[in-house]
Structure formats: structure tokens, C-alpha cells
């Protein structure tokens, strides 16, 4: 590392080249194009578009977001325009970007996931798919893909049969143990994992005695979940050989460094983008400053260096 060049942030995840390891997370960055006047999208390590389903979804009743101590509860209800509208209205502009664009994909049975990916396969502009498996499988009595290794393996295997791009599986923290799910995803062909998704939570208005979120329960994110997310990322990274992308409460460069030390190859920034859409760029700069301070020449040298 020369004094002039500084540490290198260039990295890759399952063959996807990234100018830095800090991506904007799904659900917090729209379809990306909405932020192009606020953020230099090409300076990002990459970003994940909001979840895409086979058909459009209107989402949950308001209120959908509630600020908590050191965090946020949301219950958007996976509102999105549907995959076909996305490929016609949003993807052409995204395809012109010089950064990694990932599509988050979800469904309520295996066929939903396969159909969304099949549609996306016919269009350029995406680097990979991120499967949101925190959904109930309506074909199996509402069991969540994210909590059943067999169901998880089924959906990952089915998507891998139609996907030419890398498949990243986004795991839920709402499970008894993360390792069996991580191994099931890997065994079924996942190219990488991302974790964690939000924690199921409840906020109550004591005056009305009603939930503060229209749908009742919501997903807790933000700095409050970071220590638990770090533990789960560490456990998952030690359970598999495929790369792990860490997320959960990252708001500074040192937060990002902690996830890399725990075993993540890259990170995603979510809730921080709500109060500052430029957070991923700032966090990448702060990560570079941390590496320089620690005399680490390349960000890859930080990965999986936790002394447990």
C-alpha cells in the first residue's frame, strides 16, 4: 500500500466484481434509479433492487414504518410493480450503469421464484439474483422457506436450474439455528449467502393499545440488531465455503469492518439509507480510512480474521 494510492477496496463475490464491498440493500434503495440525482450510483459497490414478485403487490396498510430506539420497524408488505413491469420500465436504465445491480426475488411457492427468475433471464443488466426466502410457502401450509432446510433446498435447486447468473440466498434470523439453513442453501447450489433479514418485532401504542404498525407485526432493522446479526454472520460463514454478504445495523465504516472480520466478504447497508441515501458511499470511505489506520493494504485481508 503506497501513501498515494491507499488501501484497495476492490473485491468480488461469487464472480461479481465490486469496486468496493459496500452495497445498498434491498427494500431501502427502491429500484435504484430513484436515487440517481442524490447518489452517484456508479460509485457504489453495487445495490439490490426492492423485491420482485411474479405479479404486482400493493403492500400492507399504513402505517408501514415506525422508528424505535436505535432502529426501525417496517411492514411494507413487499410492495412492488411486478417483474414484467420492472424489466420494461426500470431495467433498461439500470443496464446502462457501471456497477453491480442485483435483483431481489421472492414468491409464495417455488414456481413463483422460478417464474420471476425466468423472466429476468431474458434481459441484460443484472449481475445476480438474491432470493428472499423469508416468505410463507402457501403450497406447504404456510411453512416459511427460511425455517425449513428441505423447503429452502427445493426453491434454491429449482432456481439454479433456470438461472445463468449467480444465486445469492438471503437468510432470515428468525430461526433456532442458522447453520442448517446455510448448509442447505450451499448444498442446493447457492453461490453465496446474504444475512440477516429483519427480526420479527412488535411496537405498541400504550394509549390506543394497538400496534404502531398497520399490519401488527413488522421487521426490526437498524443499529439495534447489529450484535445479533454479527453473531449469525459469523456462524454462517464458519458453516459454509461459499461467500457471505453481511447486513444488519451497519451505519459506519467500522461497522462494515466488523462484519468483514466476522467472515463476510461484502456488506449491505439498509436502514442507514433512510436517513442518508449516500450512506453506502460514506461507509465505503470510512472503511478505507479504517484500513489505512490499521495498515491493511487490501480489504480482503480483513475477511474472516476474528480471533475466537
Catalytic residue among 24, 41, 87, 135: 135
Degrees (nearest 5) of the Cα angle 291, 42, 6? 25
What is the secondary structure of 201-247 as a DSSP string? Answer: E--EETTTTEESSTTS-EEEESGGGHHHHHHHHHHHHHH-SS-EEE-
Scanning the structure block, which residue is given the C-alpha cell 421464484? 113
Burial (CB < 10 A; 0-12, 13-18, 19+), residue 283, is buried
Has 135 been annotated as catalytic? yes
> Across the strands, what pairs with 47?
24, 101
CA 257 to chain centroid: 17
Which stretch of DSSP H or E encloses residue 135? Answer: none
Catalytic residues: 135
Amino acid at each position: 500500500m503506497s501513501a498515494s494510492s491507499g488501501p484497495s477496496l476492490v473485491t468480488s463475490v461469487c464472480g461479481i466484481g465490486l469496486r468496493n464491498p459496500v452495497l445498498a440493500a434491498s427494500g431501502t434503495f427502491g429500484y435504484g434509479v430513484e436515487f440517481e440525482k442524490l447518489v452517484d450510483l456508479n460509485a457504489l459497490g453495487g445495490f439490490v433492487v426492492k423485491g420482485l414478485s411474479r405479479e404486482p403487490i400493493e403492500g400492507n396498510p399504513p402505517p408501514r414504518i415506525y422508528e424505535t430506539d436505535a432502529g426501525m420497524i417496517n411492514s411494507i408488505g413487499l410492495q412492488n410493480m411486478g417483474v414484467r413491469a420492472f424489466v420494461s420500465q426500470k431495467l433498461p436504465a439500470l443496464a446502462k450503469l457501471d456497477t453491480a445491480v442485483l435483483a431481489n426475488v421472492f414468491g409464495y411457492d417455488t414456481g413463483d421464484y422460478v417464474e420471476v427468475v425466468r423472466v429476468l433471464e431474458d434481459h441484460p443488466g443484472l449481475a445476480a439474483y438474491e432470493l428472499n426466502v423469508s416468505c410463507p410457502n402457501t403450497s406447504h401450509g404456510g411453512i416459511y422457506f427460511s425455517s425449513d432446510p428441505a423447503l429452502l433446498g427445493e426453491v434454491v435447486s429449482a432456481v439454479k436450474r433456470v438461472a445463468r447468473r449467480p444465486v445469492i440466498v438471503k437468510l432470515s434470523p428468525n430461526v433456532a439455528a442458522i447453520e442448517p439453513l446455510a448448509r442447505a442453501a450451499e448444498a442446493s447450489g447457492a453461490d453465496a449467502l446474504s444475512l440477516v433479514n429483519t427480526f420479527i418485532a412488535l411496537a405498541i401504542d400504550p394509549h390506543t393499545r394497538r400496534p404502531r404498525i398497520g399490519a401488527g407485526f413488522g421487521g426490526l432493522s437498524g443499529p439495534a440488531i447489529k450484535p445479533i446479526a454479527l453473531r449469525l454472520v459469523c456462524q454462517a460463514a464458519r458453516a459454509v465455503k461459499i461467500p457471505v454478504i453481511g447486513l444488519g445495523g451497519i451505519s459506519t465504516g467500522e461497522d462494515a469492518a466488523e462484519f468483514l472480520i466476522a467472515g463476510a466478504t461484502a456488506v449491505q447497508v439498509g436502514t442507514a439509507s433512510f436517513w442518508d441515501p449516500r450512506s453506502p458511499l460514506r461507509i465505503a470511505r470510512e472503511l478505507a480510512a479504517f484500513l489505512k489506520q490499521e495498515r491493511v493494504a487490501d480489504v480482503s485481508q480483513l475477511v474472516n480474521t476474528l480471533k475466537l
